Amino acid sequence: MNTQTHRELLTFLLGDEEYAIDILRVQEIRAWEPATPIAQAPDFIKGVINLRGAIVPVIDLRIRFGLGHVEYTSFTVTVILNVGDRTVGIVVDAVSDVVSVSEERLLPPPAFSGAIDVRHIVALAALDERMLIVVDIENLMLSADMALTDELETEQ
Amino acid sequence: MSYDMTQFHQVFFAEAAEHLENMETLLLALDRARPDAEQLNAIFRAAHSIKGAAGTFGFIDMADLTHALESVLDRVRHGELVCDAELIEVSLAARDALGDLLAAHRAGTTIDLAGATAVAKRLSGLMNHTDDGVAFEFMFDAEPARWEETLTALLVELADFGTPSVEVSATEAQPFWRIRMEGCQDPQGITDVIAFVASEVRQLGEEANAAQENNDAADDSFGFFVDFPPPQPEQRTEQKTQQQPDRRSGQKLEPKPGKAVQAANGETTIRVDIDKVDLLVNEVGELLITHSMLLQAATVLDPILHERLHAGLAQLERNSRDLQAAVLAMRMVPIANVFHRFPRVVHDLSNKLGKQVELKLIGEQTELDRGLVERLVDPLTHLVRNSLDHGIETPDDRLAAGKRATGTLTLKAWQHSGMIIIEVGDDGAGLDRERILAKARERGMNVSDTAADAEVWGLIFEAGFSTAEHVTDVSGRGVGMDVVRRNINALHGRIDIESTAGAGTRVSVRLPLTLAIVDGMSVAVGSETYIVPLGHVRESLQAVPSMLHEVGGTRTVLQVRDEYIPVIALAALFGIRDAERDFTRGIMVLLEADGRCVALFVDALLGQHQVVIKSLEANYRKVPGLAAATVMGDGRVAFILDAVALTARADVSMAA
């Protein structure tokens, strides 16, 4: 039998790059719906939505990482994540797949950054013809870049 | 037994806290000149219950201290100690030390025994010592089969007086028992105790026969003692605990590990984690939003063809509203929870200040949100201390002014149109208008001699303002009233003062009944909707050009009657582009908080709602100018404005 450990990843597109995150961090995937904008928030924070009574901030990763033109189409989705003890949503171009990748196919990350800072990239994975960039989404969302937590107020 | 005792600790903590509270109330209510036997018994029983439970659950430090207290109380109960002011003070100090121990155990922090030891010393100081040994001979009333039990109980009781030893064991032929007491202080007391225990034992026997099943605790513990080990105070824990002071014949047995906690007979309440109630409040809020969504979806349907659907929706709305009211009522507790601590505060302070004060509590059963209780304690304590320190005069001054030597402090609460009003009133000297004005000038404030009283009283809410001639450790450091007002404002409440020289001062605090929902006015700014807390809205009006004045070329003030109010355009503040810019075409909402007023410029007023308050910080962070968020009928999120922050903002920018 196959004794290799596999990791379940959710993959999505940001511009032309394909990213993958740990499926256990994903609470649900929703169609894009307009959020209520927050005053004086950075432009990549689209606002907050009502997720069954909880007020959840939504971040457009495409704006955050300056990926070309940003359009809200019928393919645009909001991925609701559980990071730390918080719930946040990220807007991505499209969710492509849930894949299972064996540990041995995860390659160490490159020394250079793609759209996402190399600090948050855990690995690269080759999958058929595609290359997935595996991101530590929890680390990324709670980092200062995202301006999601209170401690960062002074940095603005 | 392998039961995890910790699961019972919460029950113990809650019950011990109740007993302590009870004890304090009773101690304060005690008439020193003619102490009422029933009251003394009730205090004794409260101490006894704590001791029993503390011993059972292994909180030996608490059991020891309560034991010392109980011994003193027991002697008072039997008329061997005079119930004087010192005794009450020491008992109150013991109650406080117990409260500290309880809090430390509850929080799992390190136990500081210094306080408890000091109090225990004072308690033992109250027991006068006459050291000699005496012997007693007596005969049991009970049948021989119960002698062992009776004797054990007696030895435990006698341990309070010294070291008892049994010299002669009785047989059927020789029914006399002899007990010798080493280090005995009071032979008469021992005689009484023997009589007391004997009669109690007889009583216990009857009850045990009547309710044998209930009697497990007492029987079990005595079962260990058949060979008469030296009595240990902690071990006679299990009888008589659980007694409510006013119900001596109530349930007597402490819940034991391994048994579910039995509610006392007639108990009609349950303890529920507040988080569970909050979850329920939240879910009901969701239900109401879902209902509005359904209602909106149904508006396109023909009312005749779909009559049953519309009727059903109307019914659903009524049901959900009722459900919401019922759930919110679960969070409501009587304000007695706040008031109950003031008899103690007044007792301590009036002693310290050498004043005679009578405290009147009115409307203790008025209900308010549980979340408000904790947050009201500090402001109200401050107001009460102020009244005692500055308001009520010393007995001599009062007599000189032709008043009763004893001042009256009144705490009163009642509900009025969806608000709770709490009034702290005294019949003291009233506020000193001249001194406040002088103090204000000293601090460089611009005030006129002819200012209205209300305006002058308002000055004492300014930061650093204190007119006390002497700074005491009670009040007068000027870090008070401004904090009080800020705290009350943070609860969407307001505070007002009325005062008449020589006749007294009344401070009234108005608060919404609950923190879970707020009465709000929804306003439109461009395509956005915001909620303004209605409690802070003074009035709304449409400005005409003659009311608007520019200050320094950038700021605009709105003239309302003879007042100039800074204008804040919400659209500019929140960066909303599609909003109205012309001040004469939108609406000015006059927002009042913290004694300041601003005019919020918005496009239009949309309506008035009760909205459920949702935290923004749970998943995001604090946003300046916003207090919280809520979900509107269409499922969209709208923000609730932070009236305190907005008015403060106007102040800062005006000063700059």
Residue type, B174: Q
* DSSP for residue A1: -
- Max avg pLDDT among A64-78, B44-58, B259-273, B526-540: B526-540
Q: What is the mean pLDDT of residues B565-592?
A: 88
Instruction: Identify the closest residue of chain A to B635 by CA–CA distance.
Output: A50
- The pLDDT value given to residue B540: 92
DSSP secondary structure string, B197-238? HHHHHHHHHHHHHHTGGGGHHHHHHHHTTTT-PPP-GGGGTT
Instruction: Identify the closest residue of chain B to A82 by CA–CA distance.
Output: B619
Q: What is the mean pLDDT of residues B558-578?
A: 87
**Strands across the sheet with B504-512, in order?**
B357-362, B407-416, B419-426, B504-512, B494-500
Among the listed residues A21, A31, A37, the one whose alpha carbon sits nearest the alpha carbon of residue A83: A21
Q: What is the mean pLDDT of residues B40-62?
A: 81
Instruction: Identify the closest residue of chain B to A40 by CA–CA distance.
Output: B574
Share of chain B above pLDDT 70, in %: 76
The 3-class secondary structure across A26-40, one letter per residue, is: EEEEEECCCCECCCC
Distance between CA B413 and CA B507 in Å, rounded? 12
Q: Shortest Cα distance from A148 to chain B (angstroms)?
A: 6
Longest CA span, chain B = 112
Q: Is B626 on the interface with A (CB under 8 A)?
A: yes
- pLDDT, tens digit, for every residue of B407-451? 999 999 998 777 889 999 999 888 888 888 888 888 777 777 777
* DSSP for residue B401: T
pLDDT band at B261 (very low <50, low <70, confident <90, very high): very low
pLDDT band at B236 (very low <50, low <70, confident <90, very high): very low
pLDDT band at B267 (very low <50, low <70, confident <90, very high): low
Residue of A53, A86, A150 with shortest CB distance to B622:
A150
Among the listed residues B27, B292, B80, the one whose alpha carbon sits nearest the alpha carbon of residue B187: B80
Q: Point out which residues pair with A102 in neighbouring strands.
A: A6
Whose tokens are 């500081």? That residue is B112
How buried is residue B114: exposed, middle or buried, by Cβ count under 10 Å (0-12/13-18/19+)? exposed
Whose tokens are 């509107």? That residue is B632
Q: How many CB atoms sit inside 10 A of residue B28's CB?
A: 15
Asked whether the beta carbons of B170 and B137 are under 8 A apart, the reply is no
Residue of B616, B618, B621 with shortest CB distance to A153:
B621
Beta strands in B395-552 (DSSP E): 407-416, 419-426, 494-500, 504-512, 517-525, 528-533, 537-541, 548-551
Residue of B618, B624, B636 with shortest CB distance to A50:
B636
Q: Is B294 helix (H, G, I), strand (E, B) or coil?
A: helix
Whose tokens are 């719930």? That residue is A87
Chain B residues whose CB is inside 8 A of the A39 CB are: 573-576, 623, 625-626, 639
Q: Is B631 on the interface with A (CB under 8 A)?
A: yes
Q: What is the mean pLDDT of residues B223-242?
A: 39
Four-point Cα dihedral B486, B489, B493, B494, nearest 10? 60
- The pLDDT value given to residue B475: 47
Residue of B623, B636, B637 with shortest CB distance to A39:
B623
Instruction: Identify the closest residue of chain A to B575 by CA–CA distance.
Output: A39
Q: What angle do CA B85, B87, B88 make, to 5 degrees?
A: 65
- The pLDDT value given to residue B95: 85
Q: Shortest Cα distance from B615 to chain A (angstroms)?
A: 7
> Range with the lowest mean pLDDT among B91-100, B161-170, B589-598?
B161-170
Interface of B with A in 147-166 (CB under 8 A): none
Q: Is B539 helix (H, G, I), strand (E, B) or coil?
A: strand
Chain A residues whose CB is inside 8 A of the B569 CB are: none
Asked whether the beta carbons of A7 and A123 are under 8 A apart, the reply is no
Q: How many CB atoms sit inside 10 A of residue B433's CB?
A: 15
Residues of chain A with pLDDT under 50: 1, 152-156
How buried is residue B336: exposed, middle or buried, by Cβ count under 10 Å (0-12/13-18/19+)? middle
Q: Which two tokens stand for residue B123?
A: 């308690």
Four-point Cα dihedral A107, A111, A116, A117, nearest 10? 130
Asked whether the beta carbons of A134 and A122 are under 8 A apart, the reply is yes
Q: What angle do CA B250, B252, B258 make, to 5 degrees?
A: 130
Asked whether the beta carbons of A37 and B529 are under 8 A apart, the reply is no
- The pLDDT value given to residue B530: 93
Which spans in chain A are helix H? Answer: 61-64, 137-141
Share of chain B above pLDDT 90, in %: 8
CB under 8 Å to B320, separation ≥6 — which residues?
B284, B287, B288, B291
Beta strands in A3-152 (DSSP E): 6-14, 17-22, 26-31, 45-51, 54-60, 77-83, 86-92, 94-102, 106-107, 121-127, 130-135
- pLDDT, tens digit, for every residue of B102-144? 888 888 777 777 888 888 888 887 775 433 456 666 666 666 6
* Inter-chain residue contact B619 with A57, CB threshold 8 Å: yes
Q: Is B108 on the interface with A (CB under 8 A)?
A: no
- pLDDT, tens digit, for every residue of B292-323? 778 878 888 888 888 899 899 889 988 988 89
Residues of A with a Cβ under 8 Å from any B Cβ are 35-41, 47-50, 52-57, 86-88, 148-150, 152-153
CB under 8 Å to B491, separation ≥6 — which residues?
B372, B375, B376, B511, B512, B515
pLDDT band at B639 (very low <50, low <70, confident <90, very high): very high
Asked whether the beta carbons of A80 and A26 are under 8 A apart, the reply is yes
Distance between CA B16 and CA B21 in Å, rounded? 8
Among the listed residues B290, B309, B287, B289, the one whose alpha carbon sits nearest the alpha carbon of residue B300: B309
CB under 8 Å to B195, separation ≥6 — which residues?
none
* Inter-chain residue contact A56 with B616, CB threshold 8 Å: no
Which spans in B443-592 are helix H? Answer: 453-458, 481-490, 570-574
* Inter-chain residue contact A55 with B618, CB threshold 8 Å: yes
- Alpha-carbon separation of residue B571 from A38, B575, B576, B583, B641 (angstroms): 12, 6, 5, 12, 13
Instruction: Identify the closest residue of chain A to B615 by CA–CA distance.
Output: A55
Pick left, alpha or beta for residue B502 (phi over 0 → left; psi -120 to 50 → alpha; otherwise beta): left
Asked whether the beta carbons of B522 and B531 are under 8 A apart, the reply is yes
- Alpha-carbon separation of residue B632 from A37, B282, B293, B305, B317 (angstroms): 15, 14, 10, 29, 15
- The pLDDT value given to residue B248: 38
- The pLDDT value given to residue A108: 82
* Inter-chain residue contact B637 with A36, CB threshold 8 Å: yes
> How much is the mean pLDDT over chain B?
76
Distance between CA B21 and CA B87 in Å, rounded? 18
Beta strands in B98-227 (DSSP E): 132-139, 163-168, 176-184
Q: Is B287 on the interface with A (CB under 8 A)?
A: no
Asked whether the beta carbons of B50 and B17 are under 8 A apart, the reply is no
* Inter-chain residue contact A35 with B637, CB threshold 8 Å: yes
Interface test with B, best of A33, A36, A44, A82 (most B CBs within 10 A): A36
Asked whether the beta carbons of B151 and B226 are under 8 A apart, the reply is no
pTM of the model: 0.57
Q: What is the mean pLDDT of residues B568-590?
A: 87
- The pLDDT value given to residue A48: 93
- The pLDDT value given to residue B166: 65
